[in-house]
Amino acid sequence: MTDAFKTDSRQMLGRLREVMAEEATGQTRLDRITQLIASEMHTEVCSIYLFRDAETLELCATEGLKAEAVHQTRMKLGEGLVGRVARTGTVMNTADAPREHGFRYMPETGEEIYSSFAGIPVQRLGEKLGVLVVQSKTARQYSEDEIYALEVVAMVLAEMTELGAFIGEGAALSARHKNPVGFRGLSAQEGTAEGHVWLHEPRVVITNPIADDPQRETERLREAVESLRVSVDQMLQSVQQGDAEQREILEAYRMFANSRGWMKRMEEDVGRGLSAEAAVEKEQSTARARMGMATDAYLRDRLHDLDDLSNRLLRILTGQGKETGAELPADPILVARNIGPAELLDYGRSLRGIVLEEGSVGSHAAIVARSLAIPLVIHAERITTEALNGDHIIVDGDNGVAHLRPEDTVLAAFRDKIAMKEEAQERYASIRDKPAVTLCGKTIALTMNAGLMADLPSLQGSGAEGVGLFRTELQFLIRNKMPTRTELAALYSRVLDSAHGKRVVFRTLDIGSDKVLSYMKPTDEPNPALGWRAIRVGLDKPGVMRMQLQALIRAAAGRPLTVMFPFVAQYEEYKAARAEVDKAMDRERILGHPLPATLEVGAMLETPSLAFAPDKFFRDVDFLSIGGNDLKQFFFAADRENERVRRRYDTLNVSFLTFLEGIVKRCEATGTPLSFCGEDAGRPIEAICLTAMGLKALSMRPASIGPVKSLLMRTDLDALRGVIETARNEGNQSVRPAVMEWLKTQP
């Protein structure tokens, strides 16, 4: 790059800065910018197109095209060369525009056939805002330096667009951050909530994208990077010795913080007239764009690191910490790109709801949200860009929908729904202390699923008879290092204390598949759900399992203890696990520690193979619990985490119910206590059908106990059984339609 160009670029940015500083309406500013670029770049046309809505671009200012076309010419995303630049988010630079694929001649603009065309996307941190275009008659390819200068201008434009500098008469983005916006995502935890937005990471606002003193800006940049390096070093020092995984992450951070290439690119941008903040953000935008395209998980993670590092640097430069002065509203709905389980636990039950741009149903954050019973919507695309702190928002976790700044009609309908739910809750409270006795006189045991200390208060409030499934892995998942035996023993002891003598079924560590511990070496299996998980890990690496069993025995100390092994696929696995329990008991006995008053050891039936295990297995186990979530995914060969196939097979499918019935019969024949603890147990229709098939114990989320009990108390299971039999005999695929029809006839 020649020095002469550098000066030009800086000069252009300097003029741009003057235009921005002038008292003028948004439109006048846009007009001046197009004039300025056209004259500085010696090109006939310069135009700015901005998004009117997510799909439509509008010509908002031009130098060279007909003035009447401004705010009249529109095009769809992907339409013509401008639309193509907008869609791909990449620069187009051609000396022969008419020959380019997608070229569209627009006579209304008075456009002659311009040969050269350069289109630069106007975007901020991956968010598309518009396109900046230059055109000229002479067939020439714009030089790399010219394109660079235009990119810088586009970035400044993006920054200004964000700040609302163009808001005004007819400008495309005037409605931004004011209009209601609906988000259709996915439900990761049911429930509804109304409240106000709390951004987990408020966006850093850059008020000065252009700087007039590059030397000073360079110094500011260097100082900020230096203090970033120091803080990363400090973090590294404070990481505990054995914490290899965390060290590795921070080492990657340090590598980026010391990266010469990164620094050089930012310094070059500053040299061309950008402020230090804008230079950092430009790099960040590039990283985000690459992140969106990266298919390699490792590369994506590293780009995430770089993104995070850029945020830190921006906070240092702008002095905008997490503490932006905003106060947590009384009814906070957390809005974030993504969030870790530990961070979520920090907020705890103060949150009314959560909306994430990323995340997955099986993510740790989702597990924690479920455990705290906070409605959670994931995959709400772009919500962090649309939402501002304090915005009114409603979250419908039942349908995976969020409404930002909702309209009155939406709000009214939503409030009606909440009122109906509250009424139902009152009904459930009135039956809380009654047993679940059906109309035909059968008593069904209803217990709750739990995984955190925070769940235990629900034992009282929900009317659950005990904890039918305590998922011990949550304690492992929310930490960044392996908990110690002492820590676990103390925790399990507190769980038993809070249960006040009610039975708690502790399931041993169920990791692998979707539950990955950050401090364990990733195994990178092609099919993790069918891979090295749960009891398979426990038996292959018995150290952790032994430690956990000891902690459980010590926690029980004279109280009854119930242990359950997950994902047992064959009798031998159960035998080996049971032998570990016996060994642990012997060891504790020898050490003179008090032993549990009683000990029950059971298995989860989550693989079809176990349903066909020898009778001796059924007699050997103290109890069995059907893990319906896993069992169903293997029965139908449909991944429970895959949205495409997850809902394809109905739990009330005749084959599945018949299969469950077979398990019930085997357990009856062998006298094996049986329960069902998958998500389906908490769905009222599914629950009554499961009990009609002979299940007498169900374990579910605490919030489901009321609705399930209420329906059970109104159901004649013998009659329902008849309905199911008839539907089955008629060859129906699912009994659901018949059951729903029948329910309508019931009082």
Interface ranges with Mg ion (CB under 5 A)? 606, 627, 630
Task: Please state, in angstroms and as integers, the Cα–Cα distance from residue 303 to each residue in 258, 276, 679, following that order.
Answer: 15, 20, 36
User: Of 560, 517, 563, 562, which Cα lies nearest the Cα of 537?
Assistant: 517
Interface segment toward ligand PEP; rule CB under 6 A; list 35-43, 98-106, 622-630, 733-741: 622-630
Taking contact as CB under 6 A, which single stretch among the options 114-122, 307-315, 626-634, 722-730 is the one that binds ligand PEP?
626-634
**CA gap 485, 549 in Å, rounded:** 9
b/e sequence 48-57, b meaning 16+ C-beta within 10 Å: bbbbbeeebb
CB of 681 to ligand PEP, least distance (A): 9
Which phi and psi (to 5°) does residue 532 adopt? -85, 95
677 tagged catalytic: yes
Measured CA to CA in angstroms, residue 398 lies from 191, 337, 414, 417, 493 at distances of: 6, 20, 12, 11, 35
Which of 46, 60, 677, 689 is the catalytic position?
677
- Confirm or reject binding of residue 510 to ligand PEP (CB under 6 A): yes
Q: Give the number of other Cβ atoms within 10 Å of residue 414's Cβ.
A: 19
- In the bound state with ligand PEP, the residue whose beta carbon lies nearer, of 126 and 627, is 627
Identify the residue among 359, 375, 628, 707 touching ligand PEP (CB under 6 A): 628
84 touches, from Mg ion, ligand PEP, none (C-beta below 5 to 8 Å by class): none
CB of 444 to Mg ion, least distance (A): 22
Nearest distance in Å: CB 491, ligand PEP: 18
Between residues 499 and 564, which has the closer beta carbon with respect to Mg ion?
564
The SS3 assignment for 93 reads strand
Q: Are 115 and 96 in contact (CB under 8 A)?
A: yes
**Contact present, 314 and 280 (Cβ < 8 Å):** yes
Residues 459-488 that bind ligand PEP (CB under 6 A): 469, 471
DSSP string computed for 406-420: --HHHHHHHHHHHHH
Contact at 8 Å (CB) between 225 and 253?
no
707 contributes a contact to ligand PEP by CB under 6 A: no
**Spatial CA neighbour of 636 closest among 625, 618, 652:** 652
Shortest Cβ distance from residue 712 to ligand PEP (Å)? 20
Instruction: Mark the segment that binds ligand PEP (CB under 6 A) among 201-209, 214-222, 624-632, 738-746.
Output: 624-632
- Does 627 bind ligand PEP (CB under 6 A)? Our answer is yes
Q: Which of 364, 379, 403, 667 is catalytic?
A: 364
Cα 230 from Cα 239, distance rounded (Å):
14
CB-based burial of residue 21 (10 Å sphere; 0-12 exposed, 13-18 middle, 19+ buried)?
Answer: exposed
Q: Per rule CB under 6 A, is residue 686 in the interface with ligand PEP?
A: no
Rule CB under 6 A: say whether 277 interacts with ligand PEP.
Answer: no
Burial of 581: CB neighbours in 10 Å, binned 0-12, 13-18, 19+: buried
Among 70, 505, 561, 677, binds ligand PEP (CB under 6 A): 677
Q: How far apart are CA 247 and CA 470, in angstroms?
A: 31
Q: Which of 630, 667, 698, 705 binds ligand PEP (CB under 6 A)?
A: 630
Least distance CB 640 / Mg ion (angstroms): 9
Q: 239 to each of 247, 250, 251, 253, 342, how far by Cα in Å?
A: 7, 9, 11, 14, 17
Q: Verify binding: residue 629, ligand PEP, rule CB under 6 A.
A: yes
**Is there a contact between 735 and 723 (Cβ–Cβ < 8 Å)?**
yes
CA distance 145 to 123: 19
Partner whose binding site includes residue 217, from Mg ion, ligand PEP, none (CB under 5 to 8 Å by kind)? none
* Minimum separation from the CB atom of position 639 to Mg ion (A): 13
- What single DSSP character describes residue 176? T
Measure Cα distances from 328 to 318, 336, 365, 390 in Å: 22, 14, 20, 9
Nearer to Mg ion, 31 or 606 (CB): 606
CB closer to ligand PEP, 64 vs 451? 451
Closest CA to 332 of 399, 392, 422, 242: 392
3-state DSSP call for residue 538? helix
Angle separating helix axes 702-713 and 684-692, nearest 10 degrees:
60
Distance of closest approach, residue 470 Cβ to ligand PEP, in angstroms? 11
Binding-site size, ligand PEP (CB under 6 A):
10
In the complex, the smallest distance separating the C-beta of residue 623 from Mg ion, rounded to whole angstroms, is 16
Please say which residue, 280 or 568, places its beta carbon nearer to ligand PEP.
Answer: 568
Q: Does 606 engage in binding with ligand PEP (CB under 6 A)?
A: yes
Nearer to Mg ion, 627 or 684 (CB): 627
Residue 554 site contact among Mg ion, ligand PEP, none (CB < 5 to 8 Å, cut-off depends on kind): none
With CB under 5 to 8 Å by kind, the binding choice for 471 among Mg ion, ligand PEP, none is ligand PEP
Instruction: Map tokens 């598309």 to a residue.
Output: 128
If binding is defined by CB under 6 A, does position 533 make contact with ligand PEP? no
CB of 734: closest distance to Mg ion in angstroms?
23
Q: Of 413, 400, 326, 393, which Cα lies nearest the Cα of 366?
A: 400
- Which CB, 222 or 479, lies closer to ligand PEP? 479
Nearest to 476 by CA among 498, 492, 462, 464: 492
List the single partner that 628 binds among ligand PEP, Mg ion, none, CB under 5 to 8 Å by kind: ligand PEP
How many helices (DSSP H) and strands (DSSP E) are in the chain? Answer: 27, 23
Supply φ then ψ for residue 521, to 5 degrees. Answer: -60, 125
- Active-site residue, 196 included: no
Tell whether residue 367 is a contact of ligand PEP (CB under 6 A).
Answer: no
Our CB check for ligand PEP shows the closer of 285 and 508 to be 508
Residue selected from 678, 684, 706, 707 as contacting ligand PEP according to rule CB under 6 A: 678
* From 320-328, 459-467, 625-633, 729-737, span contacting ligand PEP (CB under 6 A): 625-633
Least separation, in Å, of the C-beta of 653 and ligand PEP? 16
From the list ligand PEP, Mg ion, none, pick the one residue 367 interacts with, judged by a Cβ distance below 5 to 8 Å according to partner type: none
What does the alpha-carbon distance between residue 375 and residue 415 come to, in Å, rounded to a whole number?
Answer: 15
Residue number with CB closer to Mg ion (157 or 631):
631
Q: Cβ of residue 512: shortest distance to ligand PEP, in angstroms?
A: 10
- Closest Cα partner for 568 from 610, 530, 510, 505? 610
Residue 212 is encoded by which pair of tokens? Answer: 């007039």
Question: Please, which residue, 210 or 448, has the CB nearer to Mg ion?
Answer: 448
* Calpha distance 79→69 (Å, rounded): 17
Tokens of 445: 């045991």
The item of ligand PEP, Mg ion, none sharing an interface with residue 547, based on CB under 5 to 8 Å by kind, is none
Residue 500 or 647: the one with the smaller Cβ distance to Mg ion is: 647
State which residue, 45 or 505, has the beta carbon closest to ligand PEP: 505
- Smallest distance, Å, CB 363 to ligand PEP? 13
The 8-class DSSP code of residue 524 comes to -
Find which of Mg ion, ligand PEP, none residue 281 binds, CB within 5 to 8 Å per kind. none
Active site residues: 364, 677
Give the residues lining the site for ligand PEP (CB under 6 A).
Answer: 469, 471, 510, 606, 627-630, 677-678
